[in-house]
Amino acid sequence: SAVISQKPSRDICQRGTSLTIQCQVDSQVTMMFWYRQQPGQSLTLIATANQGSEATYESGFVIDKFPISRPNLTFSTLTVSNMSPEDSSIYLCSVANGTALGSGANVLTFGAGSRLTVL
Amino acid sequence: AQKITQTQPGMFVQEKEAVTLDCTYDTSDPSYGLFWYKQPSSGEMIFLIYQGSYDQQNATEGRYSLNFQKARKSANLVISASQLGDSAMYFCAISGSARQLTFGSGTQLTVLP
């Protein structure tokens, strides 16, 4: 399965600043996703990062707040813009692994996450 | 839209005993997949087991088995012979036509020595 490197692994940020999280995969993958996990909560999908086109955002997430780049099939970035304490979360990059399963689903492999604390 | 419901915020089990973690789902997709992930305190997401909606047999992976009851829309995870290292948060998730996963709220499992 794919190996994902995410950085930074953690950071402490000041209110109003922006931070870019990088996700590097050791193989070409078609589907790449960004998730957020707020403290003590489940994972929520932010967007699907599309190579060569704009990301597809889920309800409640907008490009101005979470701009995403996907310049090639092995790399993506997520920027958290104009941060507030409510943005303190773990942000996880994930990719769909290899062959589709019986239902057409794919196992998602996750990066180790980027734990952001906004003061 | 897809939805996963995990009604057990926390569960305790004695070491070497079996435990069942509940998961119910709702989806409008005719074909879907159900997943269980484990998240230890370190934070990484570890894939455990998968069940396809058309699979006739319940999935098994080592000590993990998935009790899939399609009519009841449930996909419970059974962990046999619990170990201390099984203490973690467990998430049930569903994947449909859009391929991304929708996660439940999770169950914190604590294995007691």
Are A101 and B33 a contacting pair at CB < 8 A?
yes
Q: Quick: pLDDT tens for A45-102.
A: 999 998 888 899 999 999 999 999 999 999 999 999 999 999 999 999 999 876 566 5
Are A105 and B33 a contacting pair at CB < 8 A?
yes
Interface of B with A in 14-53 (CB under 8 A): 31-33, 35, 43-45, 47, 50, 52-53
Cα separation, B22 vs B13, in Å, equals: 14
Structure tokens at A24: 């590097």
Q: Quick: pLDDT tens for A13-53.
A: 999 999 999 999 999 988 899 999 999 899 999 999 988 88
Under 8 Å between Cβ of A107 and B50: yes
